[in-house]
Structure 1
């Protein structure tokens, strides 16, 4: 994995934390309507997603007969005009959450990912193995890593939209 991916992970996470860092408990947990997630729920979804992505990457990496997959057009995830239904496993709870709880969850999922990633001796092996993504099908594990920050960028835009409604 290139340094730029690690930089993207760090930069995106910093942007996310800055977006939510000064919000009150009420602002974090306010839902514009019954069908829309609160900012805290969006963050809980990001925590759940990063945790699931990490588990999927580890699973794909540890598969003995793991197959190589073609790269997928994952950049589409950044397009907020494309509505995407979250799989059940990453639908957030109802909350409410304190800012400190949100930050703790996000730190926990990132630490889990980095612990796995940093112990990899051959990071290029991530491009050689794959596992199935619910939206994109089988895709290389290095694209799962890219999706962590691309998905987070998508939801930073959503948080900005939600903040404008407060």
Structure 2
């Protein structure tokens, strides 16, 4: 795997963990309003997106037809002024979670991603195959990996906003 991508995945996840590790369980599950997610729900959404991305990449790798598509500027994902409604498949449950549970779930999903990526013998194939992304359209598989950490960065911004609204000390 490209070292830059690996480093970005790691650095972004570390930033996410730093935002939530000192919260108490009540803060983690508090919703700023009835139409907003809690920090726990944001984290669950990130976990669901990571796990769905693994499935999409695995499916794309099995496809016979290699349709080369144009690479996209996926960095716009970080800009939260571009509103995107989460597809049902990655909508989080409203269950109560402890900080410890969320940390374990985040760790598990990242381990699954890492193990999966290590099983891809020829990494160059990731740039040659594509799968339709629900928000981005047809996307090369390597950009599916890139969108994981960019999407996470987007939601770290959301978590910071939630903490401000809830007046959680930063």
Identify whether the pair has TM-score above 0.5, normalized to the shorter chain: yes
User: For residue 92 of structure 1, what is the aligned residue in structure 2?
Assistant: 92
Distance in 2, Cα, partners of 1:136 & 1:80: 15
Distance in 2, Cα, partners of 1:64 & 1:111: 28
Verify the 8 A CA contact 1:132 1:139 in the aligned structure 2. yes
Mark the runs of 5 or more structure 2 residues left unpaired by the alignment: none
Aligned residues: 166
User: For residue 152 of structure 2, what is the aligned residue in structure 1?
Assistant: 152
Shift in Å, 1:110: 1.0
User: For residue 54 of structure 2, what is the aligned residue in structure 1?
Assistant: 54
Verify the 8 A CA contact 1:60 1:66 in the aligned structure 2. no
Per the normalisation by structure 1, the TM-score is: 0.97
User: For residue 43 of structure 2, what is the aligned residue in structure 1?
Assistant: 43
Distance in 1, Cα, partners of 2:58 & 2:103: 24
Verify the 8 A CA contact 1:40 1:97 in the aligned structure 2. yes
- Of 72-81 and 21-30, the range deviating more from structure 2: 72-81
Mark the runs of 5 or more structure 1 residues left unpaired by the alignment: none
Helix, strand or coil at the partner of 1:123: coil
- Of 99-108 and 39-48, the range deviating more from structure 2: 99-108
Verify the 8 A CA contact 1:67 1:128 in the aligned structure 2. yes
Aligned-residue CA RMSD in angstroms?
A: 0.9
Q: What do the CA deviations read for 1:113-139 (whole angstroms, capped 9, x no partner)?
A: 111111212111100000010111111
Helix, strand or coil at the partner of 1:139: strand
Distance in 2, Cα, partners of 1:156 & 1:66: 34
